[in-house]
Structure 1
Amino acid sequence: MVEYERRGPVAIVTVDRPERRNAVDRETALALRDAWERFDEDEDALVGVLTGAGGTFSAGADLKAMDLEDDPEGYLGFSRLSVSKPTVAAVEGHCVAGGIEMALWCDLRVAARTAEFGCFERRFGVPLVDGGTQRLPRVVGLSRALDLILTGRALDAETAKEWGLVNRLAPEGEALDTAVELAEVIAQFPQETVRTDRAAVYDGLGEPLERGLKIEAWHGSRAMETAREGADRFAGGEGRGGTGVEDPES
């Protein structure tokens, strides 16, 4: 139903219900919540990757079961849950309805070139209640978000990349490996600063600039010992000319 796997510093959470296009019922939602809580508590897991089995990401809520409940963590089990470490979605096939909300919960998204996105629940009058109306405009902008939400249209991976919904494209069948490679790049950096900078971005969203700068300064102050250690390494000759910074798309 939901698998938790470690590949070195990367934790992979897989929804494994291919017979239901990885749609989420109540049992799966609770398992997803448990998996992401486990990830946050796993000290050796530095970056999390969310994916689906069987060549598809997720069709969202299981409308045949229709047994999801409005838990504090969200109908899908984790959409209102906050974790302290970076996350990446690895998308193959359909990422639609609640599936797109699951992908938006992640910080970054990698998609196969054959992937398809959309708010397909529009056809059946099912509302977006797992973050879609709030996260999608923040990621792609108000006009594009409303286009997807109001029309229920399908969006191909290339267009999703142009819109900023997708960060990296991969050949069909390689989204997970590409997402893991991206996660490994993030995992190689000093994690204290990765996490404080990530937190500053989220905590500052929607705030006036003056308030946002104070939030940034507070989070940054928590990583100054790591910064001093890094400055010493740079002074010793490490990282000159940008060495040590990889472009996962190159």
Structure 2
Amino acid sequence: MALTLGRLSVNNGFRRSVHHITLNSVKGQRFYSTISKEERKSAGPGKVLSEVPVFVNRGASGTVISERRGTVMLIGINRPEARNAVNQETAQRLTEELSAFDQDNSLNVAVLYGVGGNFCAGFDLKELAHTSDSFKLEQDVSRGPGPMGPSRMRLSKPLIAAVSGYSVAGGLELALLADLRVVEESSIMGVFCRRFGVPLIDGGTVRLPQLIGLSRALDLILTGRPVKAQEALTFGLANRVVPDGQALQVALELAEQVSAFPQLCLRADRNSAYHAVFDSTSFTQAMQYEFDHGLPVVVAEAVTGATKFSLGAGRGGTFSKSKL
């Protein structure tokens, strides 16, 4: 059943951000800078800004861009002029990209980020104000995407959010979809939609309390106040805090490290943790699920891993391919 919204008139007050696109020497590709024009001007001649070049085919440009890096998929929200606020087209593209990632057996980890200095400023309220008469939402959460796109998904593989600038309202909900959040020092997170009477209907009231506890979640949900990176780290909302301009690079490195582990074991443990938090009816049921889904991995991967350890690999807690 679809729900049609009545007309809503809102000015989101977001300033326009400039994003550079320059041709790259690789034929048929473009170079998308992760640093905005304003950041370049303010940095001065003596400061080096970190950025991750993202190359995409010409046909792949649009409101969402993606690029494969080995077993890692980079997915970027590409509406910097609107601080990467999500409109209907972007929501559909995000859903398509994350669905394709989840179904691709050759990919292990995805990184979600925002192009041009902001992660995501939520749903595009300007579009909602002008299209609300024809804007329809699927009310059955098991049958279709959410307003922000992939927010109702439960991925079978890890997703890491590289958070820069604003990650607010629906943008915060997209960040909560990720397993890990790498957050830049100047980033701001929060339920900013509180100011406009826009409810959290993309999982914010579901994931946030489980992630940081009910008391802290209600602090954010009721007040709509901004949360800076260090406080987010204290809450557990951020997993890593990094210097400005480095979130995407650190998230990519983290994704590559996670991707280097035996994947059957990693996914079984990850899925068991999600089951225990969201689906289990009791401690005993959660323990049974963990055992039942972990046992096949013992045969598939653990015996091989134990053999490597007996031959000297990983002694003293060292990682040959990972800095974790």
Bin for the TM-score computed over the shorter chain: over 0.9
Alignment map for 1:1-250 (pairs within 5 Å): 1-66=63-128, 69-71=136-138, 72-206=144-278, 207=280, 208-224=282-298, 225-244=300-319, 246-247=322-323
Deviates more, 1:103-112 or 1:73-82: 73-82
Q: Provide the C-alpha distance between the structure 2 equivalents of 1:146 and 1:123, rounded to a whole number of angstroms.
A: 15
Shift of 1:44: 2.2
Shift of 1:69: 3.9
User: Which one-letter code corresponds to 2:137 in the other structure?
Assistant: D
Alpha-carbon displacement from aligned partner over 1:168-195 (angstroms, at most 9, x marks no partner): 0111011000101111110110011111
Identity %: 48
What is the aligned residue count?
A: 248
Q: Provide the C-alpha distance between the structure 1 equivalents of 2:191 and 2:136, rounded to a whole number of angstroms.
A: 20
| TM-score normalised per structure 1 | 0.96
Match of 2:39 in 1: none
User: Which one-letter code corresponds to 1:240 in the other structure?
Assistant: R
Shift of 1:76: 1.1
Aligned to 1:110, the other structure's residue is in SS state strand
Aligned to 1:223, the other structure's residue is in SS state helix
User: Which one-letter code corresponds to 1:45 in the other structure?
Assistant: L
Aligned to 1:65, the other structure's residue is in SS state helix
Aligned to 1:200, the other structure's residue is in SS state helix
Q: Provide the C-alpha distance between the structure 2 equivalents of 1:202 and 1:75, rounded to a whole number of angstroms.
A: 23
User: Which one-letter code corresponds to 1:55 in the other structure?
Assistant: G
Q: Provide the C-alpha distance between the structure 1 equivalents of 2:242 and 2:71, rounded to a whole number of angstroms.
A: 21
CA 1:86/1:247 → structure 2, altered by over 3 Å: closer, same or farther?
Answer: same
CA 1:42/1:236 → structure 2, altered by over 3 Å: closer, same or farther?
Answer: same
Q: Provide the C-alpha distance between the structure 2 equivalents of 1:83 and 1:136, rounded to a whole number of angstroms.
A: 17
Shift of 1:247: 4.3
Shift of 1:37: 0.9
Q: Provide the C-alpha distance between the structure 2 equivalents of 1:218 and 1:76, rounded to a whole number of angstroms.
A: 34
Aligned to 2:120, the other structure's residue is in SS state coil
Q: Provide the C-alpha distance between the structure 1 equivalents of 2:103 and 2:277, rounded to a whole number of angstroms.
A: 25
Q: Provide the C-alpha distance between the structure 2 equivalents of 1:20 and 1:102, rounded to a whole number of angstroms.
A: 16
Q: Provide the C-alpha distance between the structure 2 equivalents of 1:15 and 1:190, rounded to a whole number of angstroms.
A: 30
Alpha-carbon displacement from aligned partner over 1:20-48 (angstroms, at most 9, x marks no partner): 11011111100000000111122222100
